[in-house]
Structure 1
Protein backbone atom coordinates (compact mmCIF):
# COMPACT_ATOMS: atom_id res chain seq x y z
CA UNK A 1 0.00 0.00 0.00
CA UNK A 2 1.40 3.34 -1.01
CA UNK A 3 2.00 6.16 1.43
CA UNK A 4 -0.77 8.73 1.29
CA UNK A 5 -0.59 12.47 1.08
CA UNK A 6 -2.42 14.39 3.77
CA UNK A 7 -5.43 15.06 1.55
CA UNK A 8 -5.38 11.53 0.08
CA UNK A 9 -5.39 12.87 -3.47
CA UNK A 10 -8.43 15.05 -2.85
CA UNK A 11 -10.59 11.99 -2.24
CA UNK A 12 -11.71 13.23 1.18
CA UNK A 13 -13.43 16.15 -0.55
CA UNK A 14 -15.50 14.25 -3.12
CA UNK A 15 -18.17 11.53 -2.94
CA UNK A 16 -17.31 8.03 -4.09
CA UNK A 17 -18.06 6.45 -7.44
CA UNK A 18 -18.47 2.73 -8.03
CA UNK A 19 -15.74 0.75 -6.28
CA UNK A 20 -15.43 -3.03 -6.01
CA UNK A 21 -13.29 -5.53 -4.13
CA UNK A 22 -13.21 -9.33 -4.01
CA UNK A 23 -13.35 -11.55 -0.96
CA UNK A 24 -12.69 -14.95 -2.46
CA UNK A 25 -15.80 -15.98 -4.41
CA UNK A 26 -17.72 -12.93 -3.19
CA UNK A 27 -17.69 -9.58 -4.96
CA UNK A 28 -18.54 -6.49 -2.93
CA UNK A 29 -19.28 -3.16 -4.63
CA UNK A 30 -20.14 0.32 -3.43
CA UNK A 31 -23.08 1.60 -5.49
CA UNK A 32 -23.42 5.39 -5.34
CA UNK A 33 -26.81 7.03 -5.03
CA UNK A 34 -25.71 10.62 -4.38
CA UNK A 35 -23.89 12.71 -1.82
CA UNK A 36 -24.32 14.70 1.37
CA UNK A 37 -22.71 17.85 2.71
CA UNK A 38 -22.50 18.08 6.50
CA UNK A 39 -21.87 21.16 8.63
CA UNK A 40 -18.82 19.80 10.47
CA UNK A 41 -19.36 21.55 13.81
CA UNK A 42 -23.00 20.48 13.88
CA UNK A 43 -22.30 16.88 12.89
CA UNK A 44 -19.37 16.32 15.28
CA UNK A 45 -20.27 18.62 18.13
CA UNK A 46 -17.13 17.87 20.15
CA UNK A 47 -14.95 19.40 17.44
CA UNK A 48 -13.93 23.05 17.19
CA UNK A 49 -13.05 25.59 14.54
CA UNK A 50 -9.41 24.92 15.39
CA UNK A 51 -9.83 21.21 14.60
CA UNK A 52 -11.14 21.90 11.12
CA UNK A 53 -8.61 24.67 10.48
CA UNK A 54 -5.94 22.04 11.13
CA UNK A 55 -7.65 19.54 8.81
CA UNK A 56 -8.86 21.43 5.73
CA UNK A 57 -8.38 18.26 3.65
CA UNK A 58 -11.78 17.03 4.90
CA UNK A 59 -13.75 20.11 3.79
CA UNK A 60 -14.97 21.32 0.41
CA UNK A 61 -14.56 24.86 -0.90
CA UNK A 62 -17.58 26.03 1.15
CA UNK A 63 -16.31 24.52 4.40
CA UNK A 64 -18.67 21.54 4.40
CA UNK A 65 -17.75 17.95 5.29
CA UNK A 66 -18.29 15.76 2.23
CA UNK A 67 -20.03 12.39 2.48
CA UNK A 68 -21.19 9.67 0.13
CA UNK A 69 -24.72 8.25 -0.01
CA UNK A 70 -25.34 4.82 -1.49
CA UNK A 71 -25.49 1.08 -0.90
CA UNK A 72 -23.30 -2.01 -0.80
CA UNK A 73 -23.91 -4.75 -3.38
CA UNK A 74 -22.82 -8.24 -2.31
CA UNK A 75 -22.66 -10.85 -5.09
CA UNK A 76 -22.02 -14.57 -4.65
CA UNK A 77 -22.47 -16.61 -7.81
CA UNK A 78 -25.82 -15.66 -9.34
CA UNK A 79 -27.15 -14.31 -6.06
CA UNK A 80 -27.21 -10.65 -5.02
CA UNK A 81 -27.81 -8.89 -1.70
CA UNK A 82 -27.99 -5.13 -1.17
CA UNK A 83 -27.04 -3.50 2.12
CA UNK A 84 -29.01 -0.26 2.52
CA UNK A 85 -30.87 1.51 -0.28
CA UNK A 86 -29.56 5.07 -0.58
CA UNK A 87 -31.62 8.24 -0.29
CA UNK A 88 -33.78 7.75 -3.36
CA UNK A 89 -34.81 10.20 -6.11
CA UNK A 90 -34.99 13.32 -3.99
CA UNK A 91 -33.00 16.27 -2.70
CA UNK A 92 -33.07 18.13 0.58
CA UNK A 93 -31.41 21.28 1.90
CA UNK A 94 -31.28 22.04 5.61
CA UNK A 95 -31.24 25.70 6.64
CA UNK A 96 -29.67 24.59 9.93
CA UNK A 97 -28.47 21.44 11.65
CA UNK A 98 -25.91 18.81 10.61
CA UNK A 99 -27.10 18.29 7.02
CA UNK A 100 -26.48 21.21 4.69
CA UNK A 101 -27.65 19.34 1.59
CA UNK A 102 -28.29 15.76 0.51
CA UNK A 103 -29.33 14.26 -2.80
CA UNK A 104 -29.88 10.82 -4.25
CA UNK A 105 -31.24 9.16 -7.37
CA UNK A 106 -28.28 7.37 -9.01
CA UNK A 107 -28.60 3.90 -7.44
CA UNK A 108 -30.50 2.13 -10.26
CA UNK A 109 -27.98 3.42 -12.80
CA UNK A 110 -25.11 2.21 -10.65
CA UNK A 111 -26.64 -1.26 -10.38
CA UNK A 112 -27.02 -1.34 -14.17
CA UNK A 113 -23.36 -0.42 -14.63
CA UNK A 114 -22.51 -3.37 -12.40
CA UNK A 115 -24.67 -5.66 -14.53
CA UNK A 116 -27.55 -5.97 -12.09
CA UNK A 117 -31.25 -5.16 -12.36
CA UNK A 118 -33.31 -4.29 -9.27
CA UNK A 119 -35.21 -7.56 -9.67
CA UNK A 120 -31.92 -9.45 -9.25
CA UNK A 121 -31.72 -8.32 -5.61
CA UNK A 122 -33.09 -11.09 -3.40
CA UNK A 123 -32.96 -9.05 -0.20
CA UNK A 124 -32.14 -5.56 1.05
CA UNK A 125 -30.49 -5.66 4.48
CA UNK A 126 -30.63 -2.38 6.36
CA UNK A 127 -28.10 -1.10 8.84
CA UNK A 128 -30.81 1.10 10.34
CA UNK A 129 -33.97 3.00 9.48
CA UNK A 130 -32.84 6.52 8.64
CA UNK A 131 -34.06 8.12 5.44
CA UNK A 132 -30.65 8.17 3.74
CA UNK A 133 -30.54 4.37 4.01
CA UNK A 134 -34.18 3.60 3.14
CA UNK A 135 -34.56 5.68 -0.03
CA UNK A 136 -35.20 3.27 -2.89
CA UNK A 137 -36.96 0.76 -0.62
CA UNK A 138 -39.74 3.30 -0.14
CA UNK A 139 -39.88 4.84 -3.63
CA UNK A 140 -41.49 3.26 -6.69
CA UNK A 141 -39.48 2.49 -9.79
CA UNK A 142 -39.23 5.43 -12.22
CA UNK A 143 -42.41 5.65 -14.27
CA UNK A 144 -44.23 3.05 -12.19
CA UNK A 145 -46.06 2.47 -8.94
CA UNK A 146 -44.36 -0.73 -7.75
CA UNK A 147 -41.38 -0.70 -5.39
CA UNK A 148 -37.98 -0.72 -7.07
CA UNK A 149 -37.01 -3.91 -5.26
CA UNK A 150 -40.34 -5.67 -5.74
CA UNK A 151 -38.81 -9.15 -5.50
CA UNK A 152 -36.72 -8.49 -2.38
CA UNK A 153 -37.23 -9.11 1.29
CA UNK A 154 -36.37 -6.25 3.62
CA UNK A 155 -34.10 -7.49 6.40
CA UNK A 156 -34.13 -5.36 9.55
CA UNK A 157 -32.69 -6.15 12.97
CA UNK A 158 -35.34 -7.24 15.39
CA UNK A 159 -34.77 -4.48 17.97
CA UNK A 160 -34.73 -1.81 15.22
CA UNK A 161 -38.08 -2.92 13.82
CA UNK A 162 -39.62 -3.35 17.27
CA UNK A 163 -39.01 0.36 17.89
CA UNK A 164 -40.38 1.59 14.57
CA UNK A 165 -42.69 3.76 16.67
CA UNK A 166 -39.69 6.08 17.09
CA UNK A 167 -39.72 6.63 13.32
CA UNK A 168 -43.45 7.20 13.24
CA UNK A 169 -43.04 9.82 15.97
CA UNK A 170 -40.47 11.56 13.72
CA UNK A 171 -42.94 11.82 10.83
CA UNK A 172 -41.81 8.68 8.98
CA UNK A 173 -45.07 6.73 9.21
CA UNK A 174 -45.32 6.61 5.41
CA UNK A 175 -41.87 5.01 5.10
CA UNK A 176 -42.70 2.47 7.81
CA UNK A 177 -45.90 1.53 5.98
CA UNK A 178 -44.00 1.12 2.71
CA UNK A 179 -41.47 -1.22 4.34
CA UNK A 180 -43.86 -3.31 6.44
CA UNK A 181 -45.20 -5.80 3.82
CA UNK A 182 -41.69 -7.01 2.97
CA UNK A 183 -39.97 -6.93 6.36
CA UNK A 184 -38.30 -10.02 7.82
CA UNK A 185 -36.58 -9.37 11.13
CA UNK A 186 -33.08 -10.74 11.73
CA UNK A 187 -31.10 -11.39 14.90
CA UNK A 188 -27.54 -10.95 16.10
CA UNK A 189 -25.16 -13.52 14.61
CA UNK A 190 -27.61 -14.73 11.95
CA UNK A 191 -26.22 -15.63 8.51
CA UNK A 192 -28.44 -13.86 5.99
CA UNK A 193 -26.51 -14.62 2.77
CA UNK A 194 -23.50 -16.80 1.97
CA UNK A 195 -20.66 -15.44 4.11
CA UNK A 196 -22.70 -12.53 5.50
CA UNK A 197 -23.66 -12.31 9.17
CA UNK A 198 -25.52 -9.58 11.00
CA UNK A 199 -24.07 -8.00 14.13
CA UNK A 200 -26.39 -5.80 16.16
CA UNK A 201 -24.45 -2.78 17.40
CA UNK A 202 -26.90 -0.31 18.98
CA UNK A 203 -25.97 3.25 19.73
CA UNK A 204 -26.53 5.13 16.50
CA UNK A 205 -30.09 3.79 16.64
CA UNK A 206 -31.69 1.34 19.06
CA UNK A 207 -31.07 -1.64 16.78
CA UNK A 208 -28.33 -0.43 14.44
CA UNK A 209 -26.75 -3.36 12.59
CA UNK A 210 -23.39 -4.06 11.03
CA UNK A 211 -22.73 -6.79 8.48
CA UNK A 212 -19.60 -8.95 8.56
CA UNK A 213 -18.73 -10.45 5.17
CA UNK A 214 -16.08 -13.17 4.98
CA UNK A 215 -14.34 -14.79 2.04
CA UNK A 216 -10.90 -15.54 0.65
CA UNK A 217 -9.32 -15.45 4.09
CA UNK A 218 -10.46 -11.86 4.71
CA UNK A 219 -13.42 -10.18 6.32
CA UNK A 220 -15.18 -6.91 5.63
CA UNK A 221 -17.17 -5.04 8.26
CA UNK A 222 -19.93 -2.88 6.78
CA UNK A 223 -20.34 -0.66 9.83
CA UNK A 224 -23.22 1.56 8.74
CA UNK A 225 -23.31 4.86 10.62
CA UNK A 226 -20.98 3.88 13.46
CA UNK A 227 -18.74 6.37 11.63
CA UNK A 228 -19.72 9.30 9.43
CA UNK A 229 -16.26 10.65 8.56
CA UNK A 230 -12.72 9.20 8.35
CA UNK A 231 -11.47 11.65 10.99
CA UNK A 232 -13.47 9.68 13.59
CA UNK A 233 -11.05 6.77 13.12
CA UNK A 234 -8.39 8.99 14.72
CA UNK A 235 -10.90 10.36 17.24
CA UNK A 236 -13.43 7.63 18.10
CA UNK A 237 -14.59 9.70 21.07
CA UNK A 238 -16.30 12.12 18.65
CA UNK A 239 -19.88 10.95 18.27
CA UNK A 240 -22.31 12.15 15.64
CA UNK A 241 -25.23 14.44 16.38
CA UNK A 242 -27.43 11.70 14.90
CA UNK A 243 -26.36 9.07 17.44
CA UNK A 244 -29.19 7.89 19.66
CA UNK A 245 -26.78 7.08 22.51
CA UNK A 246 -23.51 8.97 22.04
CA UNK A 247 -21.67 7.34 24.94
CA UNK A 248 -22.56 3.85 23.77
CA UNK A 249 -21.64 4.68 20.19
CA UNK A 250 -18.23 6.05 21.22
CA UNK A 251 -17.52 2.89 23.21
CA UNK A 252 -18.47 0.73 20.24
CA UNK A 253 -16.44 2.87 17.85
CA UNK A 254 -13.29 2.35 19.92
CA UNK A 255 -13.78 -1.42 19.70
CA UNK A 256 -14.57 -1.21 16.00
CA UNK A 257 -11.44 0.81 15.20
CA UNK A 258 -9.31 -1.73 17.08
CA UNK A 259 -11.01 -4.58 15.24
CA UNK A 260 -10.40 -3.00 11.84
CA UNK A 261 -6.69 -2.79 12.65
CA UNK A 262 -6.52 -6.58 12.86
CA UNK A 263 -4.88 -8.48 9.96
CA UNK A 264 -7.15 -9.40 7.08
CA UNK A 265 -9.87 -6.97 8.13
CA UNK A 266 -11.41 -4.31 5.86
CA UNK A 267 -13.93 -1.66 6.80
CA UNK A 268 -16.74 -0.24 4.70
CA UNK A 269 -18.28 3.11 5.59
CA UNK A 270 -21.07 4.24 3.29
CA UNK A 271 -20.64 7.93 4.18
CA UNK A 272 -16.82 8.13 4.08
CA UNK A 273 -16.38 10.39 1.03
CA UNK A 274 -14.36 8.67 -1.72
CA UNK A 275 -12.60 6.36 0.75
CA UNK A 276 -15.48 3.97 1.52
CA UNK A 277 -13.27 0.84 1.66
CA UNK A 278 -10.29 1.00 3.96
CA UNK A 279 -8.09 -0.46 6.65
CA UNK A 280 -6.89 1.00 9.92
CA UNK A 281 -3.13 1.50 10.26
CA UNK A 282 -1.52 3.05 13.34
CA UNK A 283 1.99 3.45 11.95
CA UNK A 284 2.51 7.19 12.28
CA UNK A 285 2.61 7.63 8.49
CA UNK A 286 -0.57 9.67 8.20
CA UNK A 287 -4.30 9.33 8.90
CA UNK A 288 -5.24 5.99 10.41
CA UNK A 289 -7.87 5.29 7.74
CA UNK A 290 -6.09 4.02 4.63
CA UNK A 291 -8.19 3.53 1.51
CA UNK A 292 -7.88 -0.05 0.36
CA UNK A 293 -7.06 0.92 -3.23
CA UNK A 294 -4.73 3.82 -2.42
Structure 2
Protein backbone atom coordinates (compact mmCIF):
# COMPACT_ATOMS: atom_id res chain seq x y z
CA UNK A 1 0.00 0.00 0.00
CA UNK A 2 1.22 3.49 -0.81
CA UNK A 3 -0.47 6.64 0.41
CA UNK A 4 -0.96 9.05 -2.45
CA UNK A 5 1.01 12.31 -2.48
CA UNK A 6 -0.86 15.33 -1.21
CA UNK A 7 -2.59 17.21 -4.00
CA UNK A 8 -5.42 19.14 -2.34
CA UNK A 9 -5.36 22.32 -0.29
CA UNK A 10 -8.12 21.51 2.19
CA UNK A 11 -6.97 21.86 5.81
CA UNK A 12 -6.65 18.67 7.86
CA UNK A 13 -9.71 17.58 9.82
CA UNK A 14 -9.78 18.50 13.49
CA UNK A 15 -7.92 16.01 15.66
CA UNK A 16 -10.24 14.11 18.03
CA UNK A 17 -9.33 14.73 21.67
CA UNK A 18 -10.07 13.48 25.16
CA UNK A 19 -9.99 15.47 28.40
CA UNK A 20 -8.12 13.84 31.29
CA UNK A 21 -8.62 16.15 34.27
CA UNK A 22 -6.90 19.34 33.14
CA UNK A 23 -5.06 17.70 30.24
CA UNK A 24 -6.33 17.34 26.68
CA UNK A 25 -4.96 14.43 24.65
CA UNK A 26 -5.16 14.75 20.85
CA UNK A 27 -5.02 11.86 18.38
CA UNK A 28 -2.78 12.72 15.44
CA UNK A 29 -3.68 10.44 12.53
CA UNK A 30 -1.16 9.04 10.12
CA UNK A 31 -2.76 6.18 8.14
CA UNK A 32 -5.27 3.35 8.48
CA UNK A 33 -3.39 0.09 7.92
CA UNK A 34 -4.57 -2.29 5.18
CA UNK A 35 -6.96 -5.20 5.94
CA UNK A 36 -4.21 -7.82 5.69
CA UNK A 37 -2.48 -6.27 8.71
CA UNK A 38 -4.75 -8.00 11.23
CA UNK A 39 -4.24 -11.61 10.08
CA UNK A 40 -0.49 -11.01 9.89
CA UNK A 41 -0.09 -9.14 13.17
CA UNK A 42 -2.54 -11.11 15.34
CA UNK A 43 -2.82 -14.49 13.60
CA UNK A 44 -4.87 -16.09 16.40
CA UNK A 45 -7.56 -13.43 15.95
CA UNK A 46 -9.26 -15.38 13.19
CA UNK A 47 -12.48 -14.23 11.57
CA UNK A 48 -14.42 -16.75 13.68
CA UNK A 49 -12.81 -15.51 16.92
CA UNK A 50 -13.55 -11.90 15.99
CA UNK A 51 -17.14 -12.70 14.95
CA UNK A 52 -17.89 -14.05 18.43
CA UNK A 53 -17.38 -10.55 19.86
CA UNK A 54 -20.31 -8.55 18.53
CA UNK A 55 -19.16 -5.45 20.41
CA UNK A 56 -16.15 -5.19 18.08
CA UNK A 57 -18.41 -4.32 15.13
CA UNK A 58 -18.56 -1.98 13.31
CA UNK A 59 -15.84 0.20 14.86
CA UNK A 60 -13.03 -2.24 15.59
CA UNK A 61 -13.77 -4.95 13.00
CA UNK A 62 -15.84 -5.27 9.88
CA UNK A 63 -18.70 -7.72 9.41
CA UNK A 64 -16.37 -10.27 7.80
CA UNK A 65 -14.29 -10.46 10.97
CA UNK A 66 -11.40 -8.40 9.63
CA UNK A 67 -9.75 -6.22 12.24
CA UNK A 68 -9.40 -2.47 11.73
CA UNK A 69 -5.96 -1.18 12.75
CA UNK A 70 -4.56 2.36 12.54
CA UNK A 71 -1.28 4.22 12.90
CA UNK A 72 -1.43 7.43 14.92
CA UNK A 73 0.27 9.40 17.69
CA UNK A 74 -1.01 11.20 20.77
CA UNK A 75 -0.13 14.79 21.59
CA UNK A 76 -0.73 16.61 24.87
CA UNK A 77 0.47 19.47 27.04
CA UNK A 78 1.43 18.48 30.57
CA UNK A 79 3.52 20.34 33.16
CA UNK A 80 4.07 23.08 30.59
CA UNK A 81 5.60 20.60 28.12
CA UNK A 82 4.31 19.89 24.64
CA UNK A 83 4.51 16.11 24.40
CA UNK A 84 4.20 13.64 21.52
CA UNK A 85 3.82 9.91 22.24
CA UNK A 86 5.19 7.74 19.40
CA UNK A 87 5.85 9.03 15.90
CA UNK A 88 4.35 6.53 13.48
CA UNK A 89 5.88 5.32 10.23
CA UNK A 90 7.14 8.56 8.68
CA UNK A 91 7.27 9.82 5.12
CA UNK A 92 9.55 8.82 2.30
CA UNK A 93 11.26 5.92 4.03
CA UNK A 94 12.36 2.68 2.40
CA UNK A 95 10.54 -0.12 4.21
CA UNK A 96 10.13 -3.84 3.59
CA UNK A 97 6.46 -3.71 4.59
CA UNK A 98 4.60 -2.26 1.58
CA UNK A 99 2.04 -0.63 3.89
CA UNK A 100 4.85 1.48 5.38
CA UNK A 101 7.00 2.04 2.29
CA UNK A 102 7.60 5.56 0.95
CA UNK A 103 4.53 7.13 2.51
CA UNK A 104 3.33 10.61 1.60
CA UNK A 105 0.91 11.69 4.34
CA UNK A 106 -0.11 15.01 5.85
CA UNK A 107 0.88 13.92 9.37
CA UNK A 108 2.91 17.06 10.15
CA UNK A 109 0.10 19.28 8.92
CA UNK A 110 -2.32 17.42 11.21
CA UNK A 111 0.08 17.79 14.10
CA UNK A 112 0.44 21.53 13.50
CA UNK A 113 -3.33 21.96 13.10
CA UNK A 114 -3.76 20.44 16.57
CA UNK A 115 -1.40 23.10 17.95
CA UNK A 116 1.85 21.12 17.90
CA UNK A 117 4.09 22.56 15.22
CA UNK A 118 7.29 20.46 15.08
CA UNK A 119 9.44 23.28 16.42
CA UNK A 120 7.16 23.64 19.45
CA UNK A 121 7.40 20.03 20.68
CA UNK A 122 9.39 19.68 23.91
CA UNK A 123 9.27 15.96 24.54
CA UNK A 124 8.89 12.88 22.33
CA UNK A 125 8.14 9.65 24.20
CA UNK A 126 8.89 6.43 22.32
CA UNK A 127 7.06 3.46 23.81
CA UNK A 128 9.52 1.18 21.99
CA UNK A 129 11.86 1.21 19.02
CA UNK A 130 9.80 -0.44 16.30
CA UNK A 131 9.53 0.93 12.78
CA UNK A 132 5.95 2.16 13.06
CA UNK A 133 6.61 4.05 16.29
CA UNK A 134 9.76 6.01 15.42
CA UNK A 135 9.31 7.05 11.79
CA UNK A 136 8.55 10.73 12.27
CA UNK A 137 11.53 11.06 14.61
CA UNK A 138 13.21 12.35 11.47
CA UNK A 139 12.39 13.89 8.13
CA UNK A 140 14.45 14.28 5.00
CA UNK A 141 16.11 17.64 4.38
CA UNK A 142 18.41 18.01 1.38
CA UNK A 143 19.00 14.28 1.20
CA UNK A 144 19.76 13.79 4.90
CA UNK A 145 17.59 12.53 7.77
CA UNK A 146 17.35 15.18 10.47
CA UNK A 147 15.32 15.35 13.71
CA UNK A 148 11.75 16.43 12.99
CA UNK A 149 11.45 17.97 16.46
CA UNK A 150 14.74 19.85 16.90
CA UNK A 151 13.83 21.38 20.26
CA UNK A 152 12.63 18.14 21.85
CA UNK A 153 14.14 15.51 24.10
CA UNK A 154 13.40 12.05 22.70
CA UNK A 155 12.85 9.59 25.57
CA UNK A 156 12.86 5.82 25.51
CA UNK A 157 13.63 3.16 28.10
CA UNK A 158 17.30 2.33 28.57
CA UNK A 159 16.37 -1.38 28.59
CA UNK A 160 14.82 -0.92 25.14
CA UNK A 161 17.84 0.81 23.66
CA UNK A 162 20.30 -1.62 25.24
CA UNK A 163 18.39 -4.62 23.87
CA UNK A 164 18.53 -3.42 20.28
CA UNK A 165 22.13 -2.26 20.62
CA UNK A 166 23.12 -5.86 21.35
CA UNK A 167 20.66 -7.50 18.91
CA UNK A 168 21.72 -9.09 15.63
CA UNK A 169 19.42 -7.00 13.44
CA UNK A 170 18.55 -7.76 9.85
CA UNK A 171 19.23 -5.11 7.23
CA UNK A 172 15.67 -3.73 7.24
CA UNK A 173 15.84 -3.01 10.96
CA UNK A 174 19.36 -1.60 10.71
CA UNK A 175 18.11 0.76 8.00
CA UNK A 176 15.30 1.91 10.29
CA UNK A 177 17.79 2.69 13.04
CA UNK A 178 20.00 4.55 10.56
CA UNK A 179 17.23 6.82 9.31
CA UNK A 180 15.01 7.18 12.40
CA UNK A 181 17.04 6.60 15.57
CA UNK A 182 20.72 7.31 14.97
CA UNK A 183 20.18 10.87 13.63
CA UNK A 184 18.37 11.77 16.86
CA UNK A 185 21.14 10.23 18.92
CA UNK A 186 23.84 11.97 16.90
CA UNK A 187 22.08 15.30 17.44
CA UNK A 188 22.30 14.75 21.21
CA UNK A 189 18.51 14.58 21.58
CA UNK A 190 18.05 10.94 22.64
CA UNK A 191 17.60 10.39 26.38
CA UNK A 192 17.56 6.90 27.90
CA UNK A 193 15.43 6.43 31.01
CA UNK A 194 15.71 3.73 33.66
CA UNK A 195 12.15 2.48 34.22
CA UNK A 196 11.81 0.52 37.49
CA UNK A 197 9.06 -2.01 38.15
CA UNK A 198 6.83 0.64 39.69
CA UNK A 199 7.26 3.07 36.80
CA UNK A 200 8.87 6.49 36.72
CA UNK A 201 7.52 10.04 36.44
CA UNK A 202 9.07 11.99 33.57
CA UNK A 203 7.00 15.12 34.23
CA UNK A 204 4.25 16.09 36.63
CA UNK A 205 1.29 14.00 35.53
CA UNK A 206 3.20 11.88 33.02
CA UNK A 207 4.54 8.45 33.94
CA UNK A 208 6.28 5.64 32.10
CA UNK A 209 4.90 2.24 33.12
CA UNK A 210 6.93 -0.87 32.28
CA UNK A 211 5.02 -3.12 29.87
CA UNK A 212 7.60 -5.63 28.61
CA UNK A 213 7.12 -8.58 26.33
CA UNK A 214 6.37 -7.07 22.94
CA UNK A 215 9.89 -5.74 23.33
CA UNK A 216 12.04 -5.98 26.46
CA UNK A 217 11.94 -2.27 27.27
CA UNK A 218 8.42 -1.48 26.08
CA UNK A 219 6.56 1.09 28.18
CA UNK A 220 2.99 2.33 28.37
CA UNK A 221 2.40 6.01 29.14
CA UNK A 222 0.14 7.03 32.00
CA UNK A 223 -1.46 10.48 32.18
CA UNK A 224 -2.71 11.66 35.58
CA UNK A 225 -4.49 14.95 36.15
CA UNK A 226 -7.02 16.23 38.70
CA UNK A 227 -7.92 12.72 39.82
CA UNK A 228 -8.37 11.36 36.28
CA UNK A 229 -6.15 8.76 34.59
CA UNK A 230 -5.49 7.57 31.06
CA UNK A 231 -3.12 4.94 29.71
CA UNK A 232 -1.58 5.11 26.24
CA UNK A 233 -0.95 1.49 25.31
CA UNK A 234 1.83 1.45 22.78
CA UNK A 235 1.91 -2.15 21.55
CA UNK A 236 1.27 -4.03 24.80
CA UNK A 237 -2.32 -4.10 23.49
CA UNK A 238 -2.56 -3.84 19.72
CA UNK A 239 -6.32 -4.20 19.31
CA UNK A 240 -9.49 -4.41 21.45
CA UNK A 241 -9.95 -8.08 20.49
CA UNK A 242 -7.14 -8.75 22.97
CA UNK A 243 -9.40 -7.60 25.81
CA UNK A 244 -11.75 -10.48 25.08
CA UNK A 245 -8.81 -12.83 24.46
CA UNK A 246 -5.73 -11.62 26.39
CA UNK A 247 -3.87 -14.72 25.24
CA UNK A 248 -3.86 -13.49 21.64
CA UNK A 249 -0.38 -12.15 20.96
CA UNK A 250 1.42 -10.41 18.16
CA UNK A 251 3.57 -12.27 15.66
CA UNK A 252 6.40 -9.84 16.45
CA UNK A 253 6.34 -10.14 20.25
CA UNK A 254 9.90 -10.78 21.42
CA UNK A 255 8.68 -12.69 24.49
CA UNK A 256 5.10 -13.88 23.93
CA UNK A 257 4.63 -15.27 27.44
CA UNK A 258 5.78 -12.06 29.07
CA UNK A 259 3.68 -10.00 26.65
CA UNK A 260 0.58 -11.94 27.68
CA UNK A 261 1.39 -11.60 31.38
CA UNK A 262 1.84 -7.85 30.95
CA UNK A 263 -1.45 -7.55 29.07
CA UNK A 264 -3.37 -9.52 31.69
CA UNK A 265 -1.88 -7.51 34.54
CA UNK A 266 -2.65 -4.17 32.89
CA UNK A 267 -6.20 -5.15 31.98
CA UNK A 268 -6.91 -6.38 35.51
CA UNK A 269 -5.66 -3.08 36.92
CA UNK A 270 -7.83 -1.06 34.51
CA UNK A 271 -11.01 -3.12 34.62
CA UNK A 272 -14.16 -1.44 35.94
CA UNK A 273 -12.33 1.79 36.79
CA UNK A 274 -12.69 5.26 35.32
CA UNK A 275 -9.27 5.01 33.68
CA UNK A 276 -9.34 5.72 29.95
CA UNK A 277 -7.43 3.46 27.57
CA UNK A 278 -5.99 5.15 24.48
CA UNK A 279 -4.92 2.52 21.97
CA UNK A 280 -1.94 3.39 19.85
CA UNK A 281 -3.27 1.19 17.02
CA UNK A 282 -6.98 1.20 17.93
CA UNK A 283 -9.10 2.57 15.08
CA UNK A 284 -11.74 5.20 15.83
CA UNK A 285 -13.19 5.69 18.38
CA UNK A 286 -9.68 4.75 19.66
CA UNK A 287 -10.40 5.17 23.38
CA UNK A 288 -12.54 3.46 25.96
CA UNK A 289 -12.88 1.93 29.39
CA UNK A 290 -12.14 -1.69 30.25
CA UNK A 291 -15.25 -3.53 31.45
CA UNK A 292 -15.28 -7.04 32.89
CA UNK A 293 -17.04 -9.53 30.61
CA UNK A 294 -17.14 -13.07 32.00
CA UNK A 295 -13.56 -14.13 32.65
CA UNK A 296 -12.17 -11.47 30.30
CA UNK A 297 -13.04 -7.94 29.20
CA UNK A 298 -14.54 -5.70 26.55
CA UNK A 299 -13.91 -2.07 25.63
CA UNK A 300 -16.65 0.46 26.28
CA UNK A 301 -15.88 3.11 23.63
CA UNK A 302 -15.41 6.76 24.54
CA UNK A 303 -15.41 8.85 21.33
CA UNK A 304 -13.15 11.86 21.26
CA UNK A 305 -14.37 15.43 21.16
CA UNK A 306 -14.45 16.76 17.62
CA UNK A 307 -14.76 13.24 16.18
CA UNK A 308 -17.28 12.61 13.44
CA UNK A 309 -18.71 9.28 12.33
CA UNK A 310 -15.90 6.98 11.25
CA UNK A 311 -13.19 9.33 12.49
Structure 1 and Structure 2 fold alike (TM over 0.5) = yes
Cα drift, residue 224 of structure 1: 0.4
In the other structure, the counterpart of 2:88 is 86
Note if contact 1:18-1:110 (Cα within 8 Å) is conserved in structure 2: yes
Deviation per CA, 1:121-158, whole angstroms, max 9, x where unpaired? 11101000111110110323699964220111110101
CA distance in 2, matches of 1:158, 1:279: 30
In the other structure, the counterpart of 2:122 is 122
Selected match of 1:179 from 167, 184, 203: 184
In the other structure, the counterpart of 2:266 is 256
In the other structure, the counterpart of 2:22 is 25
CA distance in 2, matches of 1:252, 1:275: 24
Note if contact 1:79-1:120 (Cα within 8 Å) is conserved in structure 2: no
Write out aligned runs for 1:181-196 (5 A).
Answer: 181=186, 182-188=189-195, 189-196=199-206
In the other structure, the counterpart of 1:3 is none
Selected match of 2:42 from 38, 41, 44: 44
Note if contact 2:137-2:181 (Cα within 8 Å) is conserved in structure 1: no
CA distance in 2, matches of 1:74, 1:145: 25
Selected match of 1:68 from 67, 70, 76: 70
Cα drift, residue 268 of structure 1: 1.0
Identify which range, 28-37 or 69-78, moves more after superposition: 69-78
Residues 227 and 167 of structure 1, relative CA distance in 2, 3 Å threshold: farther
CA distance in 1, matches of 2:271, 2:50: 25
Residues 167 and 33 of structure 1, relative CA distance in 2, 3 Å threshold: farther
Residues 232 and 246 of structure 1, relative CA distance in 2, 3 Å threshold: same
1:116 is paired with a residue whose SS is: coil
Note if contact 1:187-1:198 (Cα within 8 Å) is conserved in structure 2: no
Selected match of 1:219 from 229, 241, 260: 229
Write out aligned runs for 1:1-294 (5 A).
Answer: 18-37=15-34, 38-52=36-50, 54=52, 57=58, 58-60=60-62, 64-76=66-78, 78-90=80-92, 101-102=99-100, 105-140=105-140, 146-165=146-165, 166=167, 168-169=169-170, 170-171=173-174, 172-174=176-178, 175-181=180-186, 182-188=189-195, 189-282=199-292, 288-293=298-303
CA distance in 2, matches of 1:241, 1:173: 21
CA-atom RMSD in angstroms: 2.9
TM-score of the superposed pair, with normalisation by structure 2: 0.78
Cα drift, residue 194 of structure 1: 2.3
Gapped runs of 5+ residues in structure 1? Answer: 1-15
CA distance in 1, matches of 2:213, 2:253: 6
CA distance in 2, matches of 1:205, 1:218: 28
Note if contact 1:30-1:72 (Cα within 8 Å) is conserved in structure 2: yes
In the other structure, the counterpart of 2:10 is none
In the other structure, the counterpart of 1:10 is none
